[in-house]
A and B are shown apart, each in its own frame.
Chain A
Amino acid sequence: MRSDRLIPAVHAAQCAWALAVATFFAGGLVAISAVTARGESTATPSSPPSPGQPGTADANARRLTDAIDKALDSSWTTARIEPAAAADDAEFMRRVYLDLTGKIPSVERARKFLADAAPDKRERLVDELLGGAMYAAHFANTWREVLLSGTNPELRTSVPELESWLRLRFAANTPYDQLAAELIAASNEGTSRRARLSAATIPSPIAFYQANERKPESLAASASSVFLGVQVQCAQCHDHPFAKWRQTDFWSLAAFFRGVDMGATAPAVGDPTTLALVDSFDRSGLPIPGGKGTAAPRFLDGTEPTWKPELGNRAALAQWVARPDNPFFARAAVNRVWAQFFGRNLAPAADSSESALAGHAELLQEMAGQFVANGYDLKQMVRSIVLSRAYQLSSKAKTLQGEQAIYFAIMPVRRMTADQLFDSLVQATGFYEPPASRSQQQPFQNDSARVEFRNTFAEETAGASETQTSIVQALALMNGRLTGDATSVESSKTLTAIVGAPFLDTPGRIEALFLAAFTRRPSNEETARFLAYAKSGPEDKRLADVFWALLNSAEFALNH
């Protein structure tokens, strides 16, 4: 998941559409927007339920799904856009597994779901996945990348204490305001040095501070980008004409993080053992570079904290960030979660000069309002999104559908993250035993196979070319050890089981391989082609070739 990006007005004018389009088609989360003719918007957001209103979580989620469907439908009508066809069960299942658990389903689970005739089977599947341990693991992976975005990529492969902290929070469905506040006000005050020496086994968000090198300016940039969806750090060095933020805004925000650097006893990055992280009560602020005076701690809305002696700087910031009336917080959260499922923001970031498409800003506002009213319930928001009509649209298109994509009227084809691809290969091939310590309560010990894989497949950056798979990645998947083992009759669990299954004939074996890799059955034409191939030599070897081709295909490697 990528961080929000902003196209400042001055550049949008220079680069015009090419930039917006190129960035959008690169799969980024740039909020593409356009000015629509006045009066075209017919979306009428319904009022969110008041907090006191009775209603189960399910009912709330359903209400939100209805709101999404209504708003987008109206937006499509206004723009005269024909949405893509509905995704079939196989397409939906693979997608929702990848988005909620970070991996594709097993053959058995796929067969069961495809055979299920009940009309509510998608809802039941979503509930099952949201309740499972892999939901927490996948969201922890996703948020690790969000929180550490822009920091040393190598560090991201070994932050067990952050991963386990995130897993515990997502497993418990900790309200999102609480999660944010915990991170912003994180402290290990009162823990002894001895306890900190074993900190790698204590779930904690302190890696966020280490990855940002304990620099107030990096932390302010990261925290505001993650939790407020704004790019105030663009004003770090100087004011930009036409930009919303001034240099003082940035340094006033950074001033809340004063004192996290702890002077000269800087521990090595990734080494939590010596870090003492305590809140500061020094309100004297930070110097603005260039001799432009001092910035005292001040919130982005221009207000100042009501200081009390016992209120630390970061604690004050945490309170403000997670306040229900914070104009940025809930909106940024909805946009970020939306982008996790649709590949880009629902509406432009709060500080963007771009305007939203008809109805989209209203929908964002409504979802944000309900998110607050429902106690920042992340699972509920996720549930309402994946059961929306837009999420259940097909990604199939014979020609590029730029306009459909901009309106969420087609599901974009998305690249998998390194973790999704690794876990999906493991799921499809069954050759690899994840370490026992992967349970959510235990610190996550990264095993060497995963680290190696992450090093090859991790994006160096959330850059402009996210649609690009690299040559090295393709070579690793075609010829590397992981695929080699996975497609060897001697060492691949899935392959061995399918090849040796006495109750399957050859077409049945081909079908099982398709289900393992694609979560779908082969077409008649595919069955014929692969059957002919399987009969062209020793069947077990030929089926290994089939499996190799499936695992290397675009259909396997992409989330569609």
Chain B
Amino acid sequence: MTRLTRIAQQTDQLNRREWLKYSAAGVVGFSFSGWLEALAATTTPKSRPGGCILLWMNGGPSQMDTFDLKPGTPNGGSFKEIETSVAGMKISEHLPKMAKHANEMCLVRSMTTKEGDHGRATALVRTGYLPQGPIRYPTFGSLVAKELGQDDAELPNFVSIAPFRALSPGAFGPGFLGSQYAPLVVGETRGATPAQGADALKVENLQPPESLSAETAEGRIDLLRSLNERFLGEHASPSAVGHDVAYRRALRLMRSAAAKAFDLDQESAATRDRYGRSRFGQSCLLARRLIERGVPFVEVTLSGVDDQVLGWDTHANNFDAVQKLSDVLDPAWAALLDDLKAGGLLDTTLTAWMGEFGRTPVINANGGRDHFPNAWSTALAGGGIRGGQAIGRTSKDGMTVEDRPVAIAELLATICKSMGIDPATQNISNTGRPIDLVDAKAQPIAEMLR
């Protein structure tokens, strides 16, 4: 048998399997009976919801004024440390609610990278790889969505809330994994100001125009079904299937009870207040609602307060800015952990706080701190993470890592491991080369895991 014949036969098998898989999932099939029914049918949820909520601190948060304070030193600044629920583990006075969650939190005070440029650092932290050559590295959420997501889920497997992508657009996309692993984006910050108003966190175009009656909408979809049935019957092709799958998933989302996740009015005013009536607070509430409904990866961006888009980029007036940001961060993250715990989801849901780098320990002439990749902090809580500890240590002046330096790939490998994902899993890149989910040279940090 020539190799070509083998390829052709295997192609056929492969695609037959794909078709069967789609059919079984009620997504597509040669028989179109039940097109509508399949959309209405509820899918089997995973045994237990859970996954990862990435709290993305756009601009690079100051470790010196959040989780690794150096009070009383020349670099310390004006913030005080406070005790937490874990003896000896102190954090900023402006994170009092999170202090009560210290037993769930694992601080990493010894992050160290080499990228001090927003764009390159964002790409590095969010993909695990430095941008180089022709390879389009996927953002971490897309990688996780591919591993933990379900093809037939009612909601997308990756939702990105309020991102600000302009500095490094590729670092927010699915890269070589392709559009099926792209995030569903809500409340995107475009240009210089965040989306505003009540609809800011809603899915765009989720509902037909209001002028359209439900009956008409059904009629339209019925016509569409008959057209696609004919076309797919005559054109057995992956592109045609891809089109049909996207429409079915979009329609399922439109009709899904799970889409109610985006309707925050279903929550009590008291709950919404607990998260804080900030954009970030309400985004965290939405993240919880999505995780509860089986979405495995949600990211929430805290870009700033008062319409800032790079609020953490505190080159001037660092202390005023970080205090305001902490006031937004603290209630939102704490309420998120409270609710996950109350719902029995904290064991399966990791929350991860990070930005693209830290800030200089030395305070500049404008009362600001500048970009500093040398020694910075991240914080994790929940999921398979062992809380109540701080990993690594920086020097008294905050300038260097003195104990247990942690590279980005090690952190991401640890996060993978905590979710039961093998970080050595490989994906085929756009150049045809297999790429490790997380660079296999990096090992998970055992002491961070439960």
Contacts and interface: CB of A to CB of B under 8 A. Distances in A.
Most chain A Cβ neighbours within 10 Å, of B2, B156, B239: B239
Contact of A36 (B4, B209, B223, B233): B4
Contact of A472 (B15, B136, B184, B232): B184
Contacts of A191: none
Interface string A1-32: 00101111001101101111111111100101
A461 interface: yes
A395 B237 contact: yes
A186 B203 CA distance: 44
* Residue among B220, B226, B227, B432 facing the most chain A CB atoms (10 A cut-off): B432
B3 A35 contact: yes
B178 A26 contact: yes
Interface in A141-181: 150, 152-154
A412 B242 CA distance: 14
A153 B136 CA distance: 12
A461 B206 contact: no
A549 interface: yes
B198 to A, nearest CB: 18
Given A5-B432, A397-B237, A35 B204 contact: no
Contact of A549 (B166, B224, B236, B238): B224
B2 to A, nearest CB: 6
Contact of B238 (A3, A25, A233, A406): A25
B7 A32 contact: yes
Interface in B177-196: 177-182, 184-185
Nearest to B427: A464
Interface string A458-479: 0111111111111111111011
A461 B173 contact: yes
A292 B431 CA distance: 25
Contacts of A6: 431-432
Interface stretch (B249-257, B394-402, B437-445): B249-257
Interface string B154-180: 001000000000100110011111111
A459 B179 contact: yes
A552 B247 contact: yes
B306 interface: no
Contacts of B176: 461, 463-464
A536 B218 CA distance: 13
B33 interface: no
A21 B134 contact: no
B179 A357 contact: no
Contacts of A480: 204-205
A386 B424 CA distance: 46
A484 interface: yes
A399 B4 CA distance: 19
Contact of B233 (A398, A462, A552): A398
A158 to B, nearest CB: 13
A465 B181 CA distance: 9
B2 A465 contact: no
Nearest to B7: A17
Contacts of B185: 472
A27 B239 contact: yes
A373 interface: no
A529 B240 CA distance: 22
A546 interface: yes
A294 B4 CA distance: 44
B208 interface: yes
B204 A471 contact: no
A202 interface: no
B432 A475 contact: no
Nearest to A460: B173
Interface string B353-397: 000000000000000000000000000000000000000000000
A401 interface: yes
**Most B CB atoms within 10 A — which of A234, A466, A468?**
A468
A23 B245 CA distance: 19
Given A473-B246, A545-B219, A11 B205 contact: no
B209 A484 contact: yes
B7 to A, nearest CB: 5
A101 interface: no
Contacts of A412: 237, 239
A402 interface: yes
A221 interface: yes
Most buried by A among B11, B156, B176, B249: B11
A71 interface: no
Interface in B77-102: none
A560 interface: yes
Contacts of B133: 221, 233-234, 236-237
B177 A463 contact: yes
Contact of A402 (B12, B184, B203, B234): B12
A474 B249 contact: yes
A478 B134 contact: no
Contacts of A472: 182, 184-185, 204-205
A395 B237 CA distance: 9
B432 A463 contact: no
B109 to A, nearest CB: 31
A14 B221 CA distance: 44
Contacts of B219: 533, 536, 542, 545
A34 interface: yes
A545 B224 CA distance: 10
A316 to B, nearest CB: 25
A402 B15 contact: yes
Given A20-B7, A471-B246, A475-B205, A465 B220 contact: no
Given A464-B176, A464-B178, A467-B239, A478 B11 contact: no
A208 to B, nearest CB: 16
Interface centre among A22, A236, A399, A549 (most CB of B within 10 A): A549
Given A468-B179, A471-B249, A557-B243, A479 B15 contact: no
B266 interface: no
A88 to B, nearest CB: 12
A14 B433 CA distance: 10
A414 B242 CA distance: 11
A23 B156 CA distance: 24
Contact of A395 (B226, B235, B238): B235
A396 interface: yes
Nearest to A560: B235
A474 B243 CA distance: 8
B207 interface: yes
A257 B242 CA distance: 41
Contacts of A15: 428, 434
Given A152-B170, A474-B246, A554 B231 contact: yes
Contacts of B136: 150, 460-461, 463
Contacts of B240: 413, 554, 558, 560
B432 A152 contact: no
A37 interface: yes
A231 B431 contact: yes
A547 B429 CA distance: 39
A479 B206 contact: yes
Interface in B314-369: none
A225 B135 CA distance: 13
10 contacts: A6-B431, A34-B7, A415-B242, A460-B170, A460-B173, A460-B179, A469-B179, A469-B247, A479-B207, A553-B231
Given A529-B226, A546-B223, A549-B223, 14 more contacts: A3-B134, A6-B432, A18-B14, A26-B178, A32-B7, A153-B169, A396-B235, A397-B237, A401-B236, A406-B8, A461-B136, A461-B173, A472-B205, A552-B224
Interface of A: 3, 5-8, 11-12, 14-15, 17-27, 30, 32, 34-37, 79, 150, 152-154, 221, 225, 231, 233-234, 236-237, 357, 395-403, 406, 412-415, 459-476, 478-480, 484, 526, 529-530, 533, 536, 541-542, 545-546, 548-550, 552-555, 557-558, 560
Nearest 9 pairs between A and B by C-beta? A465-B178, A34-B4, A549-B223, A402-B11, A474-B250, A469-B246, A467-B242, A413-B237, A460-B173
